[in-house]
C-alpha cells in the first residue's frame, strides 16, 4: 500500500530495491504521483506540463474520459486470457486498414520485443543473417539493437560498437552500421554485402532527425534490388506523424513495420505488421517447422490494452486531430526558438512538429554524429531548467500532445525564456 512520502524518502526506498534507484528509464530522483490531461504531479505535489507523455503513448493526455470508460467496461469482463479475444481482432483490423504495409499483424507487449521479432522474421524469410542499422537508431534492447545505439567513440563504418555488456562478440559480426541520411554510403555498403543482408531496420524519423528527401525511397529501392526486407521501426512514429504513421507521411512503404506506444492507449501493447507472405513465418502450418518463427507472450493482445487502443485510434480519426497536434508542436517549436534567439544562443530545432528537440549547434543536423558533437552541456542545463520551471520532458525529445491548453502554452513560453537566459553565458 502506498503511503504519503516525499520524493527523497521514495528515492531512499528505491535505492534499496532497484539498481541505480530507478526503473532504468528516467531521472530516478523524480517520482510521478498522478497525471490528468496535460499535467502530471510529483510526490512532493509539484505540478508540471507534461511534454514526456509516458515517452509517447499518452497522445490524448492522461486519463482521457472516453478511454477510461472503454477500459472500465472491459475490466469486469477480464484482464487477460492467453487466448484470442474479439477486441484484439478488431484492433488488428483497424491497424491493417490504417498502416499501408500491414496485411497482417502479430501482437507483443513492448516495442523492444516487436523490433527483436521483426529482425528475426526477416532472417527467417530471407535465410540470411546480416542486419543493416543506422548509427544512433534506437530499436529496443536486443543484442542487435544495442549495437551503435549511442556510441561514445566514433569508429569507421560499418563496424558496430556494442552499447551494453553481455553481448556476444558473434553478434557484432552480423551487424553492419551505416550513417543516417547518407545515400552514397548505403549504396556502396549494399553493393558489397547486399546478397548477405536479411534486413535494413530504420526509424523513418531517427530519434528526432528527419530523413532527407529521397532517402527512405532509396532504402526501398536498394532493398528491392538485393531482396532485402525493409523494416520501419514505427514504435514512436506510428499513429503520431500521421494516422498511417511515417510511411503515410513520407510516402514510402516498408515490408514490415513495428508499432507500439499509441496502439495500446497507455497500456503495454506492441505489434509487428507486414506483408502476408512474410508474416506467414509465424504460422507453422503455412511454412513448415524448419522455417517457422516461434513467438508467444503472456499479455500479447490482451483485451484491456486492445480496447484502450481502439478508443484512442477512434478519437485520432476525428476531424482536425492531426492538424491540432501539429499546431501544438509548431507553437512549442516557435516559443523555444524565439527564446533562444533573444539570448543569441546558437541552436537548431530538429524534428517534426509531432516530435522534436533543440540541438545546440550552429551546423546542420543530419545524423547521430551531428547530435553527438553538439553542445551537450548547454543541452543538459537547458532541460534541467525547463523541469525546474514546470515543463516535464526527457533530455532528448519533446512530445506534444492533444491535451495541451492555453495555460500550458503560457507556462511553456515562460519556462523556455528562463532556460534560455540560464544557458546564455555557458
Give the per-residue pLDDT at 3. Answer: 63
What confidence score (pLDDT) does residue 2 get?
57
Q: Which of 48, 107, 138, 368 is catalytic?
A: 138
**Cα 396 to Cα 343: distance, rounded to the nearest angstrom:** 21
> How high is the pLDDT of residue 408?
98
Q: What are the phi and psi torsion angles at 195 (to 5°)?
A: -75, -5
Residues 6+ away with beta carbon under 8 Å from 292 = 124, 281, 282, 283, 284
Distances in Å between the Cα of 316 and the Cα atoms of 84, 132, 319, 322, 355 are 25, 33, 8, 7, 16
pTM of the predicted structure, to 2 decimals: 0.97
**Annotated catalytic residue, options 117, 182, 250, 261:** 261
Give yes or no: 138 in active site: yes
Residue 191 has phi, psi (to 5 degrees) of -60, -30
Per-residue pLDDT of the chain (426 residues; tens, 9 = 90+): 456 899 999 999 999 999 999 999 999 999 999 999 999 999 999 999 999 999 999 999 999 999 999 999 999 999 999 999 999 999 999 999 999 999 999 999 999 999 999 999 999 999 999 999 999 999 999 999 999 999 999 999 999 999 999 999 999 999 999 999 999 999 999 999 999 999 999 999 999 999 999 999 999 999 999 999 999 999 999 999 999 999 999 999 999 999 999 999 999 999 999 999 999 999 999 999 999 999 999 999 999 999 999 999 999 999 999 999 999 999 999 999 999 999 999 999 999 999 999 999 999 999 999 999 999 999 999 999 999 999 999 999 999 999 999 999 999 999 999 999 999 988
- 313-333: b (≥16 Cβ within 10 Å) or e: bebbeeeeebeebbebbebbb
| Cα 207–chain centre separation | 7
233 is catalytic: yes
- What is the secondary structure of 6-64 as a DSSP string? -HHHHHHHHHHHSGGGS-SSS-TT--EEEEEBTEEEETT--EEEESSGGGTT-TT-BT-
Catalytic residue among 182, 233, 352, 370: 233
Helix/strand/coil percentages in the chain, nearest 5: 45, 15, 40
Of 337, 295, 393, the C-alpha closest to 32 is: 393
- Specify burial of residue 178 (Cβ count, 10 A radius: 0-12, 13-18, 19+): buried
User: What is the reported pLDDT for 166?
Assistant: 96
Residue 426, pLDDT score:
80
Determine the 3-state secondary structure of 410 from DSSP: helix
Of the candidates 269, 309, 136, 119, the one whose C-alpha atom is nearest the C-alpha of residue 206 is: 136
Contact 101, 118 (CB under 8 A): no
Strands (DSSP E) found in 146-287: 175-178, 197-202, 229-234, 256-259, 270-274
* 311 belongs to the catalytic site: no
Q: What residue ranges define each of the domains in the chain, with the CATH number in brackets? A: 31-63+320-423 (3.90.1150.10), 66-316 (3.40.640.10)
Amino acid at each position: 500500500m502506498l503511503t504519503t512520502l516525499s520524493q527523497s524518502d521514495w528515492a531512499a526506498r528505491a535505492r534499496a530495491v532497484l539498481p541505480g534507484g530507478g526503473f532504468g528509464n528516467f531521472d530516478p530522483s523524480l517520482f510521478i504521483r498522478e497525471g490528468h490531461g496535460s499535467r502530471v504531479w510529483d510526490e512532493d505535489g509539484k505540478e508540471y506540463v507534461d511534454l514526456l507523455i509516458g515517452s509517447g503513448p499518452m497522445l490524448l493526455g492522461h486519463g482521457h474520459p472516453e478511454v477510461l470508460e472503454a477500459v472500465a467496461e472491459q475490466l469486469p469482463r477480464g484482464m487477460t486470457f492467453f487466448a484470442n479475444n474479439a477486441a484484439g481482432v478488431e484492433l488488428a483490423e483497424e491497424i491493417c486498414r490504417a498502416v499501408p504495409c500491414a496485411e497482417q499483424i502479430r501482437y507483443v507487449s513492448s516495442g523492444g520485443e516487436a523490433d527483436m521479432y521483426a529482425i528475426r522474421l526477416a532472417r527467417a524469410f530471407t535465410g540470411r543473417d546480416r542486419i543493416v542499422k543506422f548509427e544512433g537508431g534506437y530499436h529496443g534492447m536486443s543484442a542487435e539493437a544495442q549495437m551503435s545505439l549511442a556510441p561514445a567513440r566514433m569508429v569507421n563504418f560499418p563496424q558496430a560498437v556494442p552499447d551494453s555488456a553481455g553481448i556476444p562478440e558473434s553478434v557484432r559480426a552480423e551487424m553492419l552500421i551505416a550513417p543516417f541520411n547518407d545515400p552514397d554510403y548505403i549504396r556502396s555498403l549494399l553493393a558489397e554485402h547486399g546478397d548477405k543482408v536479411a534486413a535494413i531496420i530504420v526509424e523513418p524519423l531517427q530519434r528526432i532527425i528527419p530523413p532527407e528527401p529521397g532517402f527512405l525511397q532509396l532504402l526501398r529501392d536498394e532493398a528491392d534490388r538485393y531482396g532485402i526486407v525493409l523494416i520501419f521501426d514505427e514504435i514512436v512514429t506510428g499513429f503520431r506523424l500521421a494516422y498511417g504513421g511515417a510511411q503515410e507521411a513520407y510516402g514510402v512503404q516498408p515490408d514490415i513495420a513495428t508499432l507500439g506506444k499509441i496502439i495500446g492507449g497507455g497500456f503495454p501493447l506492441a505489434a509487428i505488421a507486414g506483408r502476408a507472405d512474410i508474416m506467414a513465418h509465424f504460422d507453422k502450418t503455412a511454412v513448415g517447422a524448419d522455417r517457422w518463427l516461434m513467438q508467444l507472450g503472456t499479455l500479447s493482445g490482451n483485451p484491456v490494452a486492445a480496447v484502450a487502443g481502439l478508443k484512442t485510434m477512434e478519437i485520432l480519426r476525428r476531424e482536425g486531430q492531426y492538424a491540432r497536434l501539429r499546431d501544438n508542436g509548431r507553437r512549442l517549436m516557435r516559443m523555444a526558438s524565439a527564446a533562444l534567439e533573444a539570448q543569441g544562443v546558437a541552436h537548431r530545432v530538429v524534428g517534426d512538429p509531432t516530435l522534436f528537440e533543440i540541438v545546440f549547434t550552429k551546423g546542420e543536423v543530419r545524423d547521430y554524429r551531428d547530435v553527438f558533437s553538439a553542445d551537450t552541456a548547454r543541452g543538459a542545463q537547458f532541460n534541467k531548467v525547463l523541469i525546474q520551471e514546470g515543463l516535464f520532458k526527457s533530455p532528448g525529445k519533446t512530445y506534444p500532445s492533444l491535451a495541451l491548453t492555453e495555460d500550458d502554452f503560457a507556462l511553456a513560453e515562460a519556462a523556455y525564456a528562463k532556460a534560455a537566459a540560464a544557458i546564455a553565458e555557458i
